Amino acid sequence: MLSGLPGELVEILEFTRRHNRWRRFETINLIASENLMSPLAESAYMSDMMHRYAEGKPFKRYYQGTRFVDEVESRVQGLMAELLGGGFADVRPISGTTANASVFRVLGACGSKAVIPPVQAGAHVSHTKYGTLGALCIEQVEMPFNMEELNIDVDKAVKLIEDVSPSFVVLGASLYLFPHPVREIAEAAHSVGARLVYDAAHVLGLIVGKRWRNPLDHGADVLTASTHKTFPGPQGGVIVTRDKQLYKKISRAVFPYFVSNHHLHRLPALGVTALEMKYYGEQYADQVVRNAKKLAEALAERGFKVLGEHLGYTKSHQVVLDVRSLGGGAKAAKLLEEANIIVNKNLLPYDPPDAIKDPSGLRLGVQEMTRVGMKEQEMEEIAEFMKKVLIDGEEPAKVAEKVKEFRMNYVEVKYTFPVNTVKDGALLLLY
């Protein structure tokens, strides 16, 4: 079929085909920051909008030809705001990082201070001096962390905020087992005139699915998030606030400071996913949380050191392992990849920051495997596969074949509308 084409083109297409086959049909994906769109959302993603520009806001553009883009974007804004209990949503950020940058630019001036969770305890790089804070010349101040509770140390954090008087405080993390204390930190921030930003990148789907509390109901001034982790949409970002004046300021920072054209083909796919979450989100989020807890328990039963045992292991989509006794995070992640189990090495709260290349931990997320229909029994099987590789020392290639056979039973995306994109012509409806 590809005969007569340039060799370089054949290689690119073949590597792409192999990637698709491997990741969608042959591997157990436990990367905590990834997910799958439904076929319907994917078909909406592949629209002519990917070729177009729409700088500005709906119905106030700097380009012509956006009459239908404007209608889609305005509806998606409304849906995202609705899912988070009302307010104002900006869906133009093309990532959670650009969403954070837009908010930080408004809330903090060069030379001001921001209080954030510790890096080892999950602060995203965009929260730090190595990322967006550094680029904006905002000083990073890390709030105290309670190792026993695997969470922010509320009393010490409140005192720090009162002493430092930052411009803003950030909650939310990328290593995130238990909800942060939003109300207490919000009250402390507001007492010194600071704003509270809640980065919900990892847990947006759990918030929308009503399995985690909505930070906007508990004092957060603005919520930022990715739209492709526990919220199973296209890669991108979103900002939501109930403060109209703050929304206007942030929107003026999104464009033109951090986004020009905002990758318009994301919008219909995000709208489809938002509606999937409106109708199926609670069922999906509930199963995600159940699966994470079961995976943690199953791993612990098989001899793994799972963080948070005395706290019930996890209340999110994540499970965190200490694998120092198994060779460290880098070695463990590589062995699991050879067995078709995809995870990521991760710093643990007690690791030094310079351990990032070979940290103590593995971070696991169950949201994608939940999306393809896996439940508690399947978490037991995943734990057994991991034991065979990391504890029993079985040859990863042999386990990989078993994983491949197992995964072939879970390829259909669940928690979506009953639309067959071939039979019902959903793809054709777009043209």
CATH number at residue 162: 3.40.640.10
Residue 402 lies in a domain: no
Could you tell me the residue range of the domain that residue 49 belongs to?
42-273
**What is the C-alpha separation between 36 and 415, in angstroms, rounded?**
11
Residue/partner pairs of 243-251 with CB below 8 Å, 24 or more apart: 243/87, 244/88, 246/106, 246/195, 246/221, 246/222, 247/87, 247/88, 247/90, 249/106, 250/90, 250/102, 250/103, 250/106, 250/222, 251/57, 251/90
State pTM to two decimals: 0.95
Residue 218 lies in a domain: yes
Q: What is the pLDDT of residue 242?
A: 98
Residue 14 lies in a domain: no
Q: What is the pLDDT of residue 139?
A: 96
Residue 6 lies in a domain: no
DSSP-assigned states of every residue in 187-209: HHHHHTT-EEEEE-TTTHHHHHT
Q: What is the pLDDT of residue 379?
A: 98
Q: For residue 103, what are the contacts with CB-CB under 8 A and spacing of at least 6?
A: 197, 222, 224, 239, 250, 253
Q: What is the pLDDT of residue 128?
A: 87
Please tell me the total count of domains within the chain. 1
Q: Which two tokens mark 35?
A: 């997910």
Residue 207 lies in a domain: yes
318-322 and 305-306 as β-strands: parallel, antiparallel, unpaired? antiparallel
Nearest to 107 by CA among 174, 8, 25, 197: 197
Residue 184 lies in a domain: yes
Burial class (CB in 10 A: 0-12, 13-18, 19+), 428: exposed
Q: What is the pLDDT of residue 355?
A: 87
336 strand-pairing partners: none
Residue 96 lies in a domain: yes
Nearest to 233 by CA among 199, 265, 203, 272: 272
Residue 130 lies in a domain: yes
DSSP state of 56: E
Q: What is the pLDDT of residue 427?
A: 56
10-residue mean pLDDT series, the chain (431 residues): 84 95 97 96 95 94 95 98 97 97 97 92 86 94 94 97 98 95 98 98 98 98 98 98 98 96 97 98 98 98 98 98 97 98 95 90 98 98 98 98 98 90 54 54
